[in-house]
Structure 1
Amino acid sequence: MDRRALETLTTVLDNLRDAIWSFDLIKQQYIYANRRFNEMYGASPDQLLAEPFKWRTTVHPEDYAFVNRETQRLYHGESVELEFRIVVNGQIRWVSDRKSPVFDSGGKLFAVVGITTDITDKKHAELVLKDSEYTYRYLFLNNPNPLWIYDRETLAFMAVNNAAISEYGFTEEEFLSMKITEIRPEEEVPRLLSSIVGVKGVHSRTKGWKHRTKNGKLLDVIISGHGIVYNGRECEIIMVHNVTEMMRAREEVIIAKTNLDASINNINNLIWSVDSEYRILSMNTVFKRQIKASYNLELSAGDSILLEALDPEQIKKWKTLYDKTLAGEVIVFNTSVIGLKNTYEIKMNPIYHDDKIIGVVSQGRDIQDALNEAIRAQKQNEELRQIVELASHDIRGPVASLMGIVPLFNESQPDDPFNADIINHVRTLATQLDDILHKIVDKSYLLQQENDLTDVSPQSRSGNE
């Protein structure tokens, strides 16, 4: 090779990013080392001539024994490729050192050639990736929700976390020997297979699934999924949200509300509630029916209770009552209901939540029968008073007269003409007494008749009549 070609080759080798070198084992000196080699190990060409094994002093103490051991293989005619750390100017760098033995024509080892590459950035990236993989693996295994990865083609479980093992009762080995169809009720498998077809690399969430545990218990679950590539396979990662208890609680609330609504709707009282903006929160059937009958309106939750059908004065009156109750008062008053002749007693109570008044619940009770009973009782009391007056005043006069004239009767001489006057007087008084007693009897009979008409046995009637 002529000098110009050699210079060109040297220039090319000096500008490579890798360190290129060759070492004469016989002379124990470098045959060639490019500029990158000098830079990598922090040694000038003169230093390499003076200290051919200086590179060994840069090897990280924790890697030195490994590097020394593996380098010895060169002397047995083997090529070696090592990755180790070096410390140059206080900085730790990773290098990949590929070395090969060189033999002369007689087969005798006489030199070693090598290429050394700085792989620090690669190693840092690998460490970051390793840390990231560890973090994601940790999060996967220890997520409080059941997680698994399955193969979208074979449907086999590829990985499961601790929560899935705990929730479903299968061991990890059992899971990894199963398909996802094996934890579904048979009737849900067609829907499952159909959903897998639409799996994409985006988040999805579906409700209404059931899963079966190892002991046969059925769970109500919500599924969150995301298509991924795992171990070179098209897969999906699944997160399971167990909502069994929530669904059971919801059913219990629905049943309780249904029973409460049924009870309220079978009460003959008017019952309704409003929020702080006078919007209807709830109302029973009797209230709805009465509003329909009185105003020809079909009310719904959210409608204003301050009906446009009311005149301004009525609206003002009711608003004042609601405002007082929203301020904490309990209000009881009587009012008539449009469309009915009866009078209702209205009771309004505040609705509290976290010690704050958020609305008003009202109840209207038909008190017309009670009012009528009070009027009847008042009338009876008046009639009883008249009877007492008859007994205490009208009877007392004739009786006193009788008591006064009886002693005047001449019992020793019955033929005494004066006796006839006394007897006539007695007869007159007796007639008066008889008239008074008839009046008392008549009034008592009328009073008894009124009681018989009002005090009748209640008939069994439906609450809807």
Structure 2
Amino acid sequence: MHSHTNVTLGDCTLAFDIDEQKYLFISPGISAVLGITAGQLNHDYRLWENLIDDKDIACTKKLINCLTENNPVELIYQIRTPQQTIKTINDKKSLFIDECSGHKILLSTIKEEPGNNKPAVAPKKLHQHENAGLSKQFLNSLIDSQTSFLIRIDINGNYIFANRQYFKAFGYKAKDILGKHFSTTTIPQEVSLCKKAFTKCVNNPGKIIPLLHKKPDACGNLHDTEWELISIVDENGQVCAVQGIGHDITNRLKTEAEIKKTSQKLDTFIESITDAFFIVDNDWKFVRVNAAFEKTTLKNRGQVLNKVIWDIFPSIVNTGFEQSFYKAKNNQQSIKFTEDFAGANRWFNVSVYPSAEGLTVFVKDITEKKHAQEEAISAKNSLEALINNTTDQIWSVDAESRYVYMNNAYIKQMAHLTGTAPKKGDRSYTHARLPRQVIDDWQTYYQRALKGEHYTIIRESVHNASNEQLFFEINFNPIYSSKGCIMGVGCFARDITRRLKAEQELLRQNKRMRNIATLSSHELRRPVASMLGLMNIIDMENPENPENRQIMDYLHIVSTEIDDVIRLIVDHTFTGDHTFTGD
């Protein structure tokens, strides 16, 4: 057991554990000799039987089944490789018992037999000592080539054997542990745990006892290890030792912990997202759903898990949902689509991701967003109709004076002025047909607004056809982004020519009224005062008084003056003639 002799194996050497029904060793020569790989043979340990020619298989299997320890056989048979090559094989087989595990090991040394085409033959005995030496050499080589730890502890708990991998992994020398109690390589906190496993193993011969514990190396570093312990019995059936096969699982546990941590994070994420989430397998059965799914569908996970999606939601059959799910699965391509849920007046954005195991689906309820979009479109259309049904000109420009929006009235006006209808993205008021002064003025107007100024101007122009003088009131307003930065200018222009004309007419009327008031207060007051004075001196008691005649003549003159003033007032009211004579 302590020999470390290296053996030189043949073209193809196989070691098969009959008890475990698995290969312990497959040499690299397998591909050259048998035309198959080690991976294929490990996956299907009976693969070699499929290669043997039909006429040889029965006899070959019979000879192998009759194989006994220390009685090797040499077989010659034909095979057909997966590459359809026919070969004659020389196969030396021997059977021995592994001292460590007690398992039966079938050792095969296989090589191609050039030019021979012989059927399987009866066993050919090799010398017993030759077979024993080969078995021991192979066993020692196999033990030392293992990546697993192999130890043996006597009935008193003392180390009697450890393989090369154990010493390499933990940094011990043979003299450090052989003959010493296993507690010397056990941390104090786990000595009791290891003793219980050892005692249980001794008391239950043939039963594999699992053990997980932290084992210190020679430098004091701890390794997480996993062991399978089994008792070894002597020829009298008495337990004489305990054998352990172990692995360093430190990295595996770290990986599993990371995987678990990642899985927990993923679980938390899946449960926290507002999108409904579910996974269906290749049989269309739910294997996972999240809380948002339960809320959206009003079904708890107990109602849907392991149930077929079409049975739970029959209303999505023959809809975009079913078509897209099948398309994603059949074509193995991700699909995103928007679909309404029949009869529920609800809209969903759906993302489907296929895998070898089924489909992963995210579903976002966009009903409110969809209604908001419809309302926004309706409002936009209504606003567009309102804006484009006015004769007022409305437009906006960005920070570089490029058109962002224009209503129909503005487009028509600019087409009339320049001969070309402006388009979104064109620079405003830079057309060659416009006078240079007009272009410069408008750039100045825009810059004022881009600096944050809200203001209004009145701009005069002349109608091209009628040569009529026109006046426009134009409002300039900065447009701010959501971050508070000025991103453009909104403009609103109204034709105020009629309003200005009405205002001027009112001014003229006011002036005429002032003239009338002046005439009334000056020209009319004097003759009226004279009339009142004359009437006061009339002799009413003596109508025949000769002075009354003279007074009446004066009254006639005064009446004529009053009539002239009234005519003058009328003329000023309707003709606007501001000239008059008077004192």
Query: What TM-score comes out, normalization by structure 2 length?
Result: 0.60
The aligned residue for residue 346 of structure 1 is: 474
1:269-292 deviation digits (Å, cap 9, x = unpaired): 323222222122333343333333
The aligned residue for residue 285 of structure 2 is: 156
Q: How does 1:275-294 map to 2 (within 5 A)?
A: 275-294=398-417
1:134-185 deviation digits (Å, cap 9, x = unpaired): 4224422443224544335332211122343345432221131544457869
1:361-407 deviation digits (Å, cap 9, x = unpaired): 22223222222223322333444455455545555676677678886
| Selected match of 1:96 from 227, 230, 242 | 227
Q: Is the 8 A contact 1:147 1:239 kept in 2?
A: yes
Which stretch has the larger CA shift, 353-362 or 190-199? 353-362
CA distance in 1, matches of 2:544, 2:497: 66
Q: 1:32 to 1:421 in 2, by over 3 A?
A: closer
The one-letter code matched in structure 1 to 2:442 is W
Q: Is the 8 A contact 2:336 2:350 kept in 1?
A: yes
CA distance in 2, matches of 1:377, 1:279: 41
CA distance in 1, matches of 2:159, 2:475: 108
Q: How does 1:381-400 map to 2 (within 5 A)?
A: 381-388=510-517, 390-392=519-521, 395=524
Does 1:82 find its partner at 2:210?
yes
The aligned residue for residue 362 of structure 1 is: 491
RMSD (Å) for aligned C-alpha atoms: 4.5
Q: Is the 8 A contact 2:281 2:359 kept in 1?
A: yes
The aligned residue for residue 362 of structure 2 is: 239
1:347-368 deviation digits (Å, cap 9, x = unpaired): 2233344554333222223222
The aligned residue for residue 132 of structure 1 is: 259
CA distance in 2, matches of 1:322, 1:256: 29
Offset at residue 443 of structure 1 (A): 5.1
Q: How does 1:20-59 map to 2 (within 5 A)?
A: 42=172, 44=174, 48=178, 50-51=179-180, 54-55=181-182, 57-59=184-186
Gaps of 5+ in 2: 1-128, 577-583
| Selected match of 2:449 from 318, 325, 328 | 325
CA distance in 1, matches of 2:305, 2:321: 19
CA distance in 2, matches of 1:66, 1:82: 10
Q: Is the 8 A contact 1:81 1:99 kept in 2?
A: yes
Offset at residue 88 of structure 1 (A): 3.7
Offset at residue 312 of structure 1 (A): 1.1
CA distance in 2, matches of 1:314, 1:63: 99
Q: Is the 8 A contact 2:278 2:362 kept in 1?
A: no
CA distance in 1, matches of 2:166, 2:514: 133
Q: 1:163 to 1:135 in 2, by over 3 A?
A: farther
- Secondary structure, counterpart of 1:299 in structure 2: coil
| Selected match of 1:298 from 402, 417, 421 | 421
Q: Is the 8 A contact 2:284 2:308 kept in 1?
A: yes
Q: 1:13 to 1:374 in 2, by over 3 A?
A: closer
Which stretch has the larger CA shift, 246-255 or 5-14? 5-14
The aligned residue for residue 325 of structure 2 is: 196
CA distance in 1, matches of 2:517, 2:158: 148
Q: 1:361 to 1:185 in 2, by over 3 A?
A: farther
- Secondary structure, counterpart of 1:154 in structure 2: coil
Q: How does 1:100-249 map to 2 (within 5 A)?
A: 101-102=232-233, 104=235, 108-109=237-238, 111-112=240-241, 114=243, 116-117=245-246, 119-120=247-248, 122=249, 124-143=251-270, 144-145=272-273, 146=275, 148-181=277-310, 186=315, 189-199=318-328, 204=334, 206-210=336-340, 219-229=346-356, 234-249=357-372
CA distance in 2, matches of 1:150, 1:35: 48
Q: How does 1:64-83 map to 2 (within 5 A)?
A: 64-65=192-193, 68-69=196-197, 72-80=200-208, 82-83=210-211
Q: 1:409 to 1:398 in 2, by over 3 A?
A: farther
Q: Is the 8 A contact 1:184 1:210 kept in 2?
A: no
CA distance in 2, matches of 1:389, 1:92: 118
CA distance in 2, matches of 1:152, 1:28: 51
CA distance in 2, matches of 1:112, 1:331: 103
Q: Is the 8 A contact 1:219 1:242 kept in 2?
A: yes
- Secondary structure, counterpart of 2:437 in structure 1: helix
Gaps of 5+ in 1: 448-465
Q: 1:66 to 1:194 in 2, by over 3 A?
A: farther
Q: 1:320 to 1:55 in 2, by over 3 A?
A: same
CA distance in 2, matches of 1:225, 1:372: 69
Q: Is the 8 A contact 2:280 2:288 kept in 1?
A: no
Offset at residue 306 of structure 1 (A): 1.8
- Secondary structure, counterpart of 1:223 in structure 2: strand
Does 1:378 find its partner at 2:507?
yes
Q: Is the 8 A contact 2:197 2:211 kept in 1?
A: no
Q: 1:203 to 1:96 in 2, by over 3 A?
A: farther
CA distance in 1, matches of 2:310, 2:139: 66
Instruction: Name the count of aligned residue pairs.
Output: 431
Q: Is the 8 A contact 1:141 1:161 kept in 2?
A: no
The one-letter code matched in structure 2 to 1:334 is I
